[in-house]
Amino acid sequence: MGNFKFNPFTDKLDVTGNSGGGGGGVATLEGNTGGPIPPDGSGNIHVVGTGAITVSGAGNTLTISSGNPFFTWHVVNSNTVMVAQNGYFSNGGGRINHTLPSPSSLGDVVAVTDIGGNGWRILGSGAEQIRLGNQISTSLTGYIESNNNGDGVVLVCAVADTLWVEAQGGIQGASITVV
């Protein structure tokens, strides 16, 4: 059996020494990059997820989960504000306006493809611009739009809240206007 010592931060007894079994609490936590992380003044080490990673604790179990790493796709028939890591099939009775996400972060991805034959237009949010090859949309009022049924584009945020770029050199056969 180990020795015990009162921990004023937790109001509990901690096991001390190394006489097999039980732990005296975590001294540090270390990942595969960076250095060791010591506990705070209350003896806690906080594990926080970001992006699609969530961290939840219950009892003595810490669960780290990854959200869907792929797009969530939507069929839309009216104007929409886009969400990062989402794709949109435009299927409206007229051209559908898609507004880029705001705020946007480096690496955010969105995609739009026309399936209804009436086209789509992607508008910047605020001063965002969109670059397709050597063409770039006008700040504040610019946009890109499809010209043919089936036109599509994948955009990646290259500069947070400022610039989106075409991800794959375009979808083959797409005819897109840059304004």
Structural contact between residues 36 and 30, judged by C-beta atoms closer than 8 angstroms = yes
Please tell me the predicted confidence (pLDDT) of residue 60: 65
Give per-residue pLDDT as tens, 1-50.
455 565 666 655 555 555 444 455 667 767 666 777 777 887 777 777 77
Domain boundaries, the chain: 72-178
Please tell me the predicted confidence (pLDDT) of residue 128: 92
Per DSSP, the residues of 29-93 read B--SSS--B---TTS-------TTEEEEEETTEEEEEE--SSPEEEEESS-EE--TTEEEEE--S
Q: What is the mean pLDDT of the chain?
A: 80
Please tell me the predicted confidence (pLDDT) of residue 25: 63
Ranges of the chain whose pLDDT falls below 50: 1, 19-22
Please give the model's pTM, rounded to 2 decimal places.
0.62
Counting runs of H as helices and runs of E as strands, what totals does the chain give? Answer: 0, 16
Place of tokens 């003595």: 60
Please tell me the predicted confidence (pLDDT) of residue 21: 46
Please tell me the predicted confidence (pLDDT) of residue 5: 60
Which letter does DSSP use for residue 127 in this model?
Answer: T
Which element (helix H / strand E) includes 154?
strand 152-159
Please tell me the predicted confidence (pLDDT) of residue 20: 47
Topology of domain 72-178, CATH: Jelly Rolls (2.60.120)
